C-alpha cells in the first residue's frame, strides 16, 4: 500500500492521526505522512485541504489527489496539477445532512426572528413579535448537487416553497428547478431567502455582486455556505447597510480566518460563522477515501473524480 501525503490547513498532527486510524480500518498497511516532510517524496497519493501546491508539485511519484472536502477549488484554482493526475472529491451523506441542519437553522432564525428576540431578552423586553407566514416565503437554493439537493428537499419537507438553480438542467421532486442565466435571474428576482451552496468555478466567482443584490427583493435574506469568492464582499456590505438585504448569514469568506479588522464584524445584520456549516467527518468519509486510494493505486478511475472542464 502506498505512502499517503497528508495536509489539512489549520489542523494539527492529531487530525492526521485520526484520519490514519480511520483509514487503517479499511487499509491496514496505510501510512500517512505530512506533506511537508521528507517521507512525502515517496507518496503516490495525497489527501489535501488547502495545501501549498508548490510543495505538492515537487513530489514526482504522485498518481492522484483526494480532497478532504466536497470542494476542489483549493486544488484546481492554481491550474498547476497535470491533467493526467485524477482529483477526487468527497461526496458524503453525513456532510449533506450536516449542511442541511445549518441551513435550516439559519432560515428558521430569520423566519422566527431569533436575533430580535435575543435582543429583547437582553433588554428584558417581554413582547411577542409579528409572526411571519412561512408559507409565503420563497427560498432559492443556488447549487442543487450532492449537498444542495438534500438541503432543498429538507426545506421543502419543512413546508417552504423551494426553488433551485444549477448550471445544467436537473429534476428534483417537490423542487422547482431552474438552470442557465435565465433561471438564475428567476431565482434572484423572486426569492425571499437566497442560499448559496455553489461549487467555486470560473463561472461562479463573484456571482453575487452589486447587480445581483440589486435585483433581489428589498428585505431579502442572503445565506452563504458555498465559498467566500462567490461574493463581492463590499457589494454585500453596502446592500446590508442600506437594508436592501435585511440579513446575511455567512459561513465562508474570501480570507479565512476572517480578519479581526474586517468590516463584517461591525455590521449588525451580518451573522458570522467560522466555516463550520458542514465539516468533513473521518468516521463517515473514510470508507470512500479508502476506496479512492485503492482505485488510484490500481490505476482505476475512482468514483467522484472531478471533471476538470466544469470544475467539480
pTM of the model: 0.93
Count of other CB atoms within 10 angstroms of residue 26 = 15
- Per DSSP, what are the bridge partners of residue 178? 165
pLDDT at position 269 = 97
Place of cell 501510512: 31
The residue among 70 and 23 whose pLDDT is bigger is 23
pLDDT tens digits, one per residue of 200-256 = 999 999 999 999 999 999 999 999 999 999 999 999 999 999 999 999 999 999 999
pLDDT at position 311 = 81
pLDDT at position 1 = 63
Place of cell 498547476: 80
Cis amide bond preceding 257, omega within 30: yes
pLDDT at position 164 = 98
pLDDT tens digits, one per residue of 40-64 = 999 999 999 999 888 888 889 999 9
pLDDT at position 32 = 96
- d(CA 96, CA 240) in angstroms, rounded, equals 28
Q: Is the pLDDT of residue 79 over 80?
A: no
pLDDT tens digits, one per residue of 172-182 = 999 999 999 99
Radius of gyration (Cα) for the chain, nearest Å? 21
- Per DSSP, what are the bridge partners of residue 177? 164
For the segment 139-147, the average pLDDT, to the nearest whole number, is: 96
pLDDT at position 54 = 83
Residues 6+ away with beta carbon under 8 Å from 243: 218, 219, 269
Q: Which residue intervals of 127-269 are DSSP H helices?
A: 148-157, 180-190, 210-215, 233-241
Helix (H) or strand (E) holding 44: none
Of 245, 207, 246, the C-alpha closest to 226 is: 207
For the segment 279-289, the average pLDDT, to the nearest whole number, is: 94
Count of other CB atoms within 10 angstroms of residue 134 = 15
- Which domains does the chain possess? 3-92+280-297 (3.40.50.720), 94-272 (3.40.50.720)
Helix (H) or strand (E) holding 122: helix 114-122
State what percent of residues in the chain have pLDDT above 70. 99
Amino acid at each position: 500500500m502506498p505512502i499517503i501525503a497528508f495536509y489539512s490547513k489549520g489542523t494539527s498532527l492529531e487530525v492526521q492521526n485520526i484520519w490514519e486510524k480511520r483509514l487503517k480500518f479499511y487499509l491496514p498497511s496505510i501510512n500517512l505522512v505530512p506533506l511537508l516532510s521528507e517521507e512525502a517524496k515517496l507518496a503516490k497519493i495525497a489527501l489535501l485541504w488547502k495545501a501549498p501546491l508548490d510543495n505538492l508539485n515537487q513530489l514526482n511519484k504522485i498518481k492522484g489527489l483526494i480532497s478532504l472536502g466536497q470542494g476542489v477549488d483549493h486544488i484546481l484554482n492554481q491550474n498547476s496539477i497535470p491533467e493526467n493526475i485524477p482529483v477526487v472529491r468527497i461526496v458524503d451523506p453525513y456532510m449533506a445532512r450536516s449542511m442541511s441542519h445549518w441551513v435550516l437553522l439559519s432560515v428558521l432564525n430569520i423566519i422566527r426572528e431569533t436575533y430580535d428576540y435575543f435582543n429583547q431578552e437582553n433588554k428584558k423586553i417581554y413582547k411577542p413579535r409579528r409572526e411571519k407566514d412561512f408559507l409565503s416565503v420563497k427560498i432559492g437554493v443556488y447549487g442543487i448537487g450532492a449537498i444542495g439537493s438534500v438541503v432543498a428537499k429538507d426545506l421543502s419537507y419543512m413546508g417552504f416553497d423551494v426553488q433551485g438553480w444549477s448550471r445544467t438542467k436537473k429534476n428534483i421532486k417537490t423542487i422547482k428547478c431552474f438552470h442557465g442565466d435565465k433561471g438564475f435571474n428567476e431565482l434572484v428576482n423572486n426569492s425571499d431567502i437566497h442560499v448559496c451552496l455553489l461549487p467555486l468555478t470560473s463561472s461562479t466567482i463573484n456571482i453575487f455582486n452589486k447587480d445581483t443584490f440589486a435585483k433581489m427583493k428589498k428585505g431579502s435574506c442572503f445565506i452563504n455556505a458555498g465559498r467566500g469568492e462567490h461574493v463581492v464582499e463590499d457589494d454585500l456590505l453596502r446592500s446590508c447597510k442600506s437594508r436592501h438585504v435585511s440579513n446575511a448569514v455567512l459561513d465562508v469568506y474570501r480570507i479565512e480566518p476572517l480578519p479581526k479588522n474586517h468590516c463584517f464584524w461591525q455590521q449588525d445584520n451580518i451573522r458570522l460563522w467560522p466555516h463550520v456549516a458542514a465539516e468533513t467527518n473521518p468516521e463517515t468519509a473514510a470508507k470512500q477515501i479508502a476506496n479512492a486510494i485503492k482505485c488510484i493505486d490500481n490505476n482505476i478511475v475512482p468514483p467522484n473524480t472531478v471533471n476538470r472542464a466544469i470544475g467539480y
